[in-house]
Structure 1
Amino acid sequence: METHGAAVTAENFGLKGPRGWAFRGVGIKAEPGSLIAVEGPSASGRTCLLLALTGRMKPSEGHAEVAGLRLPRKMATVRQVTALGPVQGVSELDPALTVAEHLRERAMLQRRYDGSLRALLRPRGERRAAALARVEEALRTAGLDVEMLPKGNRTSVRDLERLEALRLSIALAMTGRPRLLAVDDIDLKLSDAERAEAWDLLRGIAAQGTTVLVACSQAPDGVVLISTGTQPAEATGTTAADTADTTAPIAPATGKHEVRQGRETRAEGADGTGTDSGSTDASEGSEHAEHASDTREIKDTEDTEEGADDALAETGRA
């Protein structure tokens, strides 16, 4: 797959909601094609960080760049070059739909919203063939063989194993050939063997050039690590920022975030109150997430420098 990954950098990056800091003081420096792990326990703000770095949530302080696009100014454009795998409450699979229905829907949305004007003017047969080729490419990247499923592509999502559902979510995300793929809760409900297989899958995607951002409870060796846990820092990372906040009235943030290639760096994350769902509250009453409608319409909200509405530009199965 010819995909040029996105470089990811951040400095003093933070997001605060009415209940306190979800994360604060994050520093990142990752090259294109990196495998970046956001490590921490549930409710440590890791999902909020995932959504903020993909342009789905608006940060409260600091800045970040994804593929050279500065956040929060270029949130809408960042959404166009990034894609979400499974994120609870944001891009979940519909258990009532089959694998084929999910793939067909994503191909239709891809043709309608992501195609260039020149592509839209091509004959219908050519557009269908191109969409099919893209879906097959994404399935190969995700390592999902639909013929091996219990009912082939007519298998319902509710009948998929956890690892199969993960592969399907990743395949749907990769149909857009994103420069950055974000995956939440990679180790949720997986056995040790399945967890190792999932990480091998993500390493393979990163090796092909796509930058991969993953939220997990424990990351393996050899990744760019961002820790949102409560463990003390053991080493100095490439960037670091003190996040102590004794003025916050509720759930003040403590500790600091550090990032470094490999597992040498540990860092203490902001113990904020952001949850691991995509519906975390954001500052100043802005709405950060909207669920898909029954008609599955996509809204691509344009953000201005003044910080207009930063709602999700996803279908609910982004």
Structure 2
Amino acid sequence: MDGPLGLAVTARDFGLRGPRGWAFRGVSADAEPGSLIAVEGPSGSGRTCLLLALTGRMRPTEGLAAVGGLELPRRMAAVRRVSALAHVTGVTDLDPALTVGEHLREQALLQRRFGGSLPRGLLRPRSERRREERRRVDTALTGAGLDLAVLPKGARTAVRDLERVEALRLSLALALLGRPRLLGVDDIDLKLSSAERAEVWDLLRSLAGTGTTVVAVCSEAPRDAVVIATGTGNDRHDDAKEAADALAGTGRS
């Protein structure tokens, strides 16, 4: 591959008005492929809605934006195909009763059925398909920095028994199984200590370093990120609830 895997992100006077008023408006951005982008703002300032709009999951109502040259909202479906989400409440929630391995197998099955060319895949021997699936899972786990060997019961560890950073890493691994060119991660500093936040930012830097464009929602951005600020003139509301309501029944995760 000659160039970065990631996608450039641009926006000018980008805005979204929902039933409760403006989720965000007047947003501008200009990020190169493979950038680490931080959507910075207080809770309730439209951060999650902006993340979902930039990944093609919510329809903006004013301004211009493009992801990898795909204009929003006209090319929302195309943007969804090349992006993935992690750690978004109400959208990518992990089932606490399932194990890490069950989550990975379920997501790998979904990718096999809906994430690629099904007819061409069916022509390959089953053993070859399984080896490829295992490689994709291993690559996703490595990218997310999740070592199954250090978990209490390995792949049989239930999600309810994971530490917060481990659960975040699992959510990232599930998103990475689709080999996205744009990865959106919500609320990365939720209930994390300073050391844990630094650990997560290092992980996201490493993902961006491989070429994937990363968009991460946070309350305080690191200095080396491309910052998109929210919370200037927006109406205060339950950002996560509005995002989940807008996506209910669409399957656009």
Q: TM-score of the superposition, structure 2-length normalised?
A: 0.95
Superposed CA RMSD: 1.7
Over the matched positions of the two proteins, sequence identity in percent amounts to 65
Question: What displacement does 1:278 show?
Answer: 5.6
Matching residue within 158, 181, 184 for 1:179 = 181
The alpha carbon displacement at 1:120 in A equals 3.0
Q: What letter corresponds to residue 99 of structure 2 in structure 1?
A: T
CA distance in 1 between partners of 2:158 and 2:55 (Å) = 29
5 Å-filtered alignment, 1:154-173, equals 154-173=156-175
Alignment partners' CA distance in 2, 1:3 and 1:133: 21
Please tell me whether the aligned partners of residues 5 and 209 of structure 1 are also in contact (alpha carbons under 8 angstroms): yes
Which of the numbers 216, 222, 234 marks the counterpart of 1:271?
A: 234
Residue 111 (structure 1) aligned with residue 112 (structure 2): yes
Seen in structure 2, the aligned counterparts of structure 1 residues 3 and 171 have a Cα distance that, compared at 3 Å, is farther
**5+ long unaligned stretches in structure 1:** 230-268, 282-286, 292-310
What does 1:185-204 align with in structure 2 at a 5 Å threshold? 185-204=187-206
**In structure 2, C-alpha distance between the alignment counterparts of 1:8 and 1:110, rounded to whole Å:** 25
Superposition deviation, residue 17 in structure 1: 1.1
Matched length:
251
Separation in 2, partners of 1:121, 1:290: 35
Runs of 4+ with deviation above 4 angstroms? none
Which structure would you say has the larger Rg?
1
Q: For residues 282-293 of structure 1, what are the structure 2 equivalents within 5 Å?
A: 288-290=246-248
Deviation of 1:274 (Å): 4.5
Query: Aligned partners of 2:111, 2:15: CA distance in 1, in Å?
Result: 32
Name the counterpart of 2:252.
313
Per residue, is there more helix in 1 or in 2? 2
Alignment partner of 1:88 is 2:89: yes
What are the residue-to-residue correspondences of 1:1-318 with 2, within 5 Å? 4-116=5-117, 117-229=119-231, 269-277=232-240, 279-280=242-243, 288-290=246-248, 311-314=250-253
Q: 1:251 matched to which residue of 2? A: none
C-alpha distance in structure 1 between counterparts of 2:126 and 2:8, whole Å? 36
Cα distance between partner residues in 2 of 1:288 and 1:271 = 18
Q: Structure 2: how far apart are the matches of 1:87 and 1:99?
A: 18
**Displacement, 1:275?**
2.7
Unaligned runs of at least 5 residues, structure 2: none
TM-score by length of 1: 0.76
- Structure 1 pair 3/161, CA: closer, same or farther in 2 (3 Å)? farther
SS of alignment partner, residue 21 of structure 1: strand
Q: Which residue is equivalent to 1:266? A: none
Report the CA distance shift for 1:86/1:278 in structure 2 as closer, same or farther (over 3 A).
farther
Assess, with a 3 A threshold, how the Cα gap between structure 1 residues 187 and 153 changes in structure 2: closer, same or farther: same
| Secondary structure class of the residue paired with 1:277 | helix
